A and B are shown apart, each in its own frame.
Chain A
Amino acid sequence: MMRRYRWSGLAVAAAIMLPFLLSKFQTFQATQIMVYAIAILGLNLLTGYNGQISLGHGAFYAIGAYVTAILMDQAGAPYWAAIPVAAIICFGVGFLFGFPARRLGGHYLALATFALALAVPQLLKWRMIEHWTGGVQGVFLDKPGAPFGLPLNSDHWLYYLVLAHVVLLFWCAANLLRGRIGRAIRAIRDQPVAAETAGIDIARTKAIVFGVSATYTGIAGALSALVIQFVAPDSFPFFLSIYLVVGLVVGGASSLWGAFLGAGFITMVPNIAAEISKGATGLIYAVAMIALMYWLPQGISGGVQRLFVCVSRRRRTAHPSGEG
């Protein structure tokens, strides 16, 4: 039990210390990375583990953010109540989308979600719902401060709020994937026919995974609304969906902690590349994606894991009696 959580525990401890070493802007960036990590984890559950390719997860991110913003702005709901509501709504939308999508194999699902990604930015500007969404202007939110008189400034509080979600959601995902359901999810990806023969209800499982995935990405969207304190259609462009895919590919499909690598990549690269040109970001993404697909289809995390396996195998052969 303790062994299993050794590395995760160390990482969380380090993450708790981190804001005291970082500047205000760096703390914001770290928070942003964790938000993206949750979104990418959601996409990974669907695409990496279940084999359902989604190019439209930006839509669920946007829904999560908008539900939170509207609840806080229109209904005066506190943020801690708005996030679970956003999560539930995203599960519903994701499940409903996944329900018909379960019949769509492979690239047809990619196509349907691609269409979703293209349509949602325009839908957010729809005049009929402008009253709630604020139209093109969007919605401004207040910055949540630390509760119970904790001696934290609001940037640090946001950081810890997001960190708490990261820990909870990654723990849930790890548990989900370890058990029977996790095996079913992977079986559907690798051998759908065999999975069905083994009694797995493919349609239902796929729809539920879609819902769970949308929930994760929706929670990330909800947190992003709090972190940035502003939602507008332009915050959720079509390319957001694509960037999430970039993060997934760079971090590595089918590895949970890869999501952090991917999130770091899509947060940091634009900052660095913007100094060269606005187009440089996209180009770096594209080259990284193709190169990784060519040499490391499992992403950076997959590459690192392979390296570990190689090293430990070599050590085992060098010291046959040792544990390795």
Chain B
Amino acid sequence: MLHQLVSGLMTGAIYGIVALSLVMIFNATNHINFAQGEMAMFSTYVAWMLINAGLPYWAAFGATVALSFVGGMALERMVLRPFRDAPLLSIVVVFVALLLAFNALAGWIWGYVLKKFPSPVSQFSTGTSLIGAHELFVVAVTVLMLTVLFLFFRFTRLGLSMRAAAQNPVSARLVGIRVGRMLTLGWGLAAAIGAIAGMLVAPIVFLDPDMMGGILLYAFASALLGGIDSPAGAVLGGLIVGVGENLLGAYVVGNDIKLTVALIVVISVLIVRPRGILGRITVRRV
């Protein structure tokens, strides 16, 4: 039981990070990025390639995060920007196209065979069977990232500008914030966070083009549960979903319909409490 709880917290932390990247884009653009999982997967392949080329883990880690950041910004500038005022269907279609594109590209470049991805802490041991070194690492990175993001959005000029640009673009522009640039930055950050999530998850599930499918669903469930616009809510939701998934999977429904549980979470949250646990209520004028 305790072991299930701990491993639930660990998977929950991963869902939380992916959910965090979804929240980043939602906060910057008010859109749900269906390609987030595949973007993270693609970044992880890049990291795998760098490590195989002989780079030490942390150098590859840093390079991948930086490349994803730039890639995310480029994606926003070149692909998403022309659709800024397009109808919702067009935007969803573009996200779906990105999902397909990254999945296909990864399969084309790196093949569909499962690949092993290293963990930076695999040589360490925690001295207990309750929690592995990598699990501890995942939780630590999640806490660290949440703290950094919290400080960034709370206390830095740039972070505040990004929040202003997302919440009220018109007023933000009036006080001199480059709203378009903030959007681009938001995409870059989301891609970088996604890359970290991918690199954390890959040692557990192995690397393949479809590795993020299930995780993305849990991440959606987490983000919705916590509140789609709240970074802390995303991580909280992730932990709840992770623990719940593990306990339900182990004791109640079995492992083979866990995704259906996530589906039920998604739909129930949307119906019962669309703003999630920590989300803001948005009132729309018609």
Report how far A245 CA is from B34 CA in the complex, Å: 14
Contact B217 A119 (CB under 8 A): yes
Residues of B within 8 A of A108 (CB): 32, 270, 274
**For chain A residues 114-167, which have a beta carbon within 8 Å of chain B?**
114-116, 118-119, 122-123, 125-127
Report how far A281 CA is from B107 CA in the complex, Å: 11
Report how far A103 CA is from B273 CA in the complex, Å: 12
Task: For the complex formed, measure the closest distance between the CB of A187 and the CB atoms of chain B, giving whole angstroms.
Answer: 15
The 8 Å CB contact of B92, one of A110, A118, A122, A279, is: A110
Asked if A172 is at the interface (CB within 8 A of a chain B CB), the reply is no
Contact A110 B34 (CB under 8 A): yes
Comparing B121-129, B162-170, B196-204, B251-259, the segment that makes contact with chain A is B251-259
Report how far A53 CA is from B86 CA in the complex, Å: 15
Residues of A within 8 A of B259 (CB): 118-119, 122-123
> Looking at chain A's contact residues, is the secondary structure mostly helix, strand, loop, or mixed?
helix
Asked if A309 is at the interface (CB within 8 A of a chain B CB), the reply is no
Given A110-B32, A283-B105, A293-B83, A118-B100 contact (CB < 8 Å):
no
Contact B270 A280 (CB under 8 A): no
Contact-residue size bin, chain B (C-beta under 8 Å from the other chain) = 35 or more
Contact A283 B96 (CB under 8 A): no
> Looking at chain B's contact residues, is the secondary structure mostly helix, strand, loop, or mixed?
helix
**CB-defined interface of B195-223 with A at 8 Å, one 1/0 digit per residue?**
00000000000000000011011001100
Nearest residue in B to A237 (C-beta to C-beta)?
B210
Contact A283 B257 (CB under 8 A): no
Asked if B112 is at the interface (CB within 8 A of a chain A CB), the reply is yes
Nearest residue in B to A253 (C-beta to C-beta)?
B89
Given A122-B260, A293-B93, A115-B266 contact (CB < 8 Å):
yes
Given A118-B217, A119-B260, A112-B267 contact (CB < 8 Å):
yes
Residues of B whose CB lies within 8 Å of any CB of A are: 31-32, 34, 79, 82-83, 86-90, 92-94, 96-101, 103-109, 112, 213-214, 216-217, 220-221, 224, 254, 256-260, 262-263, 266-267, 270-271, 274, 286
